[in-house]
Amino acid sequence: MIRRVTRRLFLALALSSAVLVAAGPAWAGSYLDRAALLLDQGKKEGDMLFPRTHDKELTELVRTLAEVRLRVARRMEVPVAIAKAHPHLLLVLENYERAADAAHQGNFKKFVQHLNAARDEERIFRNVVAELGHAVPSVDKQR
């Protein structure tokens, strides 16, 4: 009788462990999907703003969107498997926000500095994610 209970307990623990191990990558995948979207939008807006820093309405729009993206990223639940990379995501988004703010203030030099810093941090983020055994997915349409 005790053997049977022990065996069932062992099987239940093994099954639970397998489920938790399988759920870890899935949760990391969801985080990485959200991170990819945030990164992609920041990059696209920075690219669009680069030749148009004189357009105050556009710079205001991009600045507002960058602020919201950063606020969302700060509140994201971060899986333990990816926690080491998350500060770099925040730095990317902070730099995009600062770049948009600099553009809105008419400071092109500071805009370019923050844009370059955001791109450097994005490379670091992607490298850290890769070191942790994951990859940031592409947001481009897959066929």
Give me the pLDDT at residue 18, please. Answer: 42
| Residue 140 placed within a domain | no
Kindly state the average pLDDT of the residues 69-98. 96
Looking at residue 86, which CATH number applies to its domain?
1.20.120
Contact 69, 38 (CB under 8 A): yes
Answer yes or no: is pLDDT of 100 > 50: yes
Which residue range is the domain that position 103 belongs to? 2-131
pTM metric for this prediction: 0.78
Structure tokens at 78: 């971060």
Compute the distance between CA of residue 11 and CA of residue 14 in angstroms, rounded to an integer: 5
What are the C-alpha distances in Å from 81 to residues 24, 59, 67, 93? 7, 36, 26, 21
Whether residue 90 is contained in a domain is answered as yes
Position 32 in a domain: yes
Is residue 98 within 8 Å of residue 69, measured between CB atoms? no
Residue with the larger pLDDT of the pair 72 and 24:
72
pLDDT bucket at 4, cuts 50 / 70 / 90:
low
Q: How many domains are contained in the chain?
A: 1
The residues near 72 (Cβ < 8 Å, ≥ 6 apart) are 38
Give the chain's mean pLDDT.
Answer: 85
Q: Does 67 reside within a domain?
A: yes
pLDDT (0 to 100) of residue 20: 41
Collect all residues with Cβ–Cβ distance below 8 Å to 74 and sequence separation of at least 6.
90
